[in-house]
Structure 1
Amino acid sequence: MKIAVVTDSTAYLSAEQVKENNIHVVPIPFTVDGQTYREGVDITTTDFYAKLRTVREFPKTSQPPVGELLSLYEELGKQGYDTVISIHLAGTISGLVATLESVKDQVPGVRVIPFDSRITVILMGMLAVKAARMANAGKSADEIIAALTELRDTIGEYFVVDDLQNLVRGGRLSNTAAFIGSVLKIKPLLTFDEQTDEIVGFEKVRSTKKALKRAEALFAERMKDVDYPLHLFVIHANDPEMAAKWQHRLQKQYPDYPVDISYFGPVIGTHLGEKALALAWMRDIDK
């Protein structure tokens, strides 16, 4: 058995991580003022956020063409792979996994296994890295899926967005009515609901500083029952300075955990908006 690992561009893995682990990345398309780009291919993240400030219409994201995905799977089959584990962003924010489920049997000689990460960004990227490492070590598909499922259950995150306009306009916030009345006056705390995997707002805070402090307090409470090593991430939407400050503070609080900085690229940044920040964590795959 030879297993390939595929993910999409919202994993926001570095070129080194992709190459080192032999991960295949499918770009997610998005449209800005009538022009379509492929994430990670046709436009830089910095240029995207510059465009986002002056767009005439709200940007739109879409799924990769099915034919493009099938062609990739077929090409992997020609390279000797008989199994593909395809790890993608949460089914609650994209229909990509559902699409793959409907076409997974159309590639002769290749078993395609779609896997819903129930998340996105670097957290999903780490799932792909874990799968690739196991595949390269000769583990079976069943062993890899079991490990990914267990690792996925250790993921958590708190988002702080500058305002809710993008999430509301994009229809990605499940409990909009509870927050819309004070969109311009608050810094809402958001998370992926553990039961529904939908993005939900759950607290309203009056400033970014207070929101970050509250996220830290909530994380500390969650960690009381954790008995395994964690990997923390500070994720930002074009705000590297604030991300670096938060990383420094968190690293001082948790010296035994790696705290890395990642980013929200165009597809996810479309919905969260510029200056969004997140504290995210999962079991450390290196320990």
Structure 2
Amino acid sequence: MEYRIVGDSCLDLTSEMKKEGKIKIVSLTLQVDGVDFIDDDSFDQKKFIKAVADFEGCPKSSCPSPEEYKKAFGEDEVTTFCVTLSAELSGSYNSAVLGQRMVEEEFPNKKVYVFNSRSACIGETLVALKIQECAGKGASFEEIVEQVEDYIRRRETLFVLENLETLRKNGRLTGMKAALVSVLNIKPVMMGTPEGTIEQCAIGRGTKKALKKMIEEVGSRVSDFENRIFGISHCNCPERARYVKEEVEKRYPFKQIIIADTAGVGTLYANDGGIVIAF
């Protein structure tokens, strides 16, 4: 089956995936103090991090239009799968669904399916890789949809951030949690829920202890390591990502571990030094 994969720009690509060019990215736009940053190949992570740090207000993101998704899906009959940010965190999913309806009205024989990843960053990446895996095994359109939706229900996403201010300002956390982080150096381990929202699952005093707590959480959540890919997204902290990779390798026999740097949307919410894992 000929197919294509489309993802919004919160889907973090590894360097190998960028070279392969098999996943088409549709860009979100980030706004900081009246300046727009397009989340595409021109995105300057360090410049953006500085802009956010210097801005006292709340940076925002805007999702791609349905027309942009329609264009990415293609004006042909190639089967297309799309992976978006959690519908609970962004309007990207709903915009993609509208784009799907538009392209299917124009091309009735075209098959399009939009996956609500119920996650972000590397969590989206793993969904795209699952689509590739199923298609590579010769699964039909319907089988891919069923198997990937089941995978999304079982996949876990955890993260530790140095700074929770952007999540707090955007209403994703309570002010109390953000204050604890800044005043007491308490770093919460956050998790994505099956519904696509964010909850706290553990805490550590300092980043190193929080990362250890997060790694311990992995062992309590899965047992079929050999059948899973473990993914790491990092925001401008490759050494921290390598530390997580090495510690996970010592403890758990995942079939593969991948690392990606956050693109613009991931950088917006993870902030400098943030780590996101999915498995």
Please give the TM-score of this superposition, normalised by the length of structure 1. Answer: 0.83
Change in CA separation of 1:112 and 1:192 when aligned onto 2, cut-off 3 Å? same
The answer on 1:232 being equivalent to 2:226 is no
* Deviation (angstroms), 1:218: 1.8
Return closer, same or farther for 1:103/1:265 CA change in 2, 3 Å cut-off.
Answer: closer
SS at match of 1:53: helix
CA contact (8 A) 1:237 1:269 kept: yes
State the match for 2:215 in structure 1.
Answer: 216
| Aligned residue in 2 for 1:88 | 84
User: Which residue does the alignment assign to 2:6?
Assistant: 6
Match of 1:124, SS?
helix
Output the amino acid matched with 1:247: K
Residues in 1 aligned to 2:72 and 2:122: alpha-carbon distance in whole angstroms: 22
Give yes or no for the alignment of 1:203 onto 2:202: yes
1:99 maps to which residue? Answer: 95
Distance 1:29 1:203 in 2: 32
Unaligned regions of 5+ residues in structure 2, if any? none
Which segments of structure 1 move beyond 6 Å, counting only runs of 4 or more? none
Give the 3-state SS of the residue equivalent to 1:104 in structure 2.
helix
Kindly state the Cα deviation for residue 64 of structure 1 after the two structures are TM-superposed. Answer: 0.8
5 Å matches for 1:134-145?
134-135=134-135, 139-145=139-145
CA distance in structure 1 between the partners assigned to 2:199 and 2:29 by the alignment: 25
- The number of residues matched between the two structures is 273
Report the secondary structure of 2:87's partner residue: coil
Aligned residue type for 1:246: V
Bigger shift: residues 153-162 or 41-50 = 41-50
Query: How far apart, CA to CA, are the structure 1 residues paired with 2:84 and 2:120?
Result: 7
Could you tell me which amino acid in structure 2 is paired with residue 274 of structure 1? D
User: How far does residue 192 in structure 1 lie from its aligned partner after superposition?
Assistant: 0.7
Q: How far did residue 228 of structure 1 move?
A: 4.7
2:70 aligned residue: 70
Give the SS at the match of 1:10: coil
Q: Post-superposition shift, 1:142? A: 0.7
Q: For residues 234-260 of structure 1, what are the alpha-carbon distances to aligned partners after superposition, in whole Å with 9 as ceiling and x for unaligned?
A: 322111122222322222233554333
User: Which one-letter code corresponds to 1:197 in the other structure?
Assistant: G
Corresponding residue for 2:41?
A: 41
Q: TM-score, normalised by structure 2?
A: 0.86
Distance 1:226 1:111, change over 3 A: closer
TM-superposition CA deviations, 1:181-229 (whole Å, max 9, x none): 52312111111123x3201123332211211121122222223x43652
Query: How much does 1:18 deviate?
Result: 5.0
| Cα distance change of structure 1 residues 133 and 274 upon mapping to structure 2, 3 Å threshold | same
The AA in structure 1 aligned to 2:98 is S
Query: RMSD of the TM alignment (CA)?
Result: 2.5
Secondary structure (helix, strand or coil) at the match of 1:189 reads: strand
Contact 1:23 1:132 in 2 (8 A): no
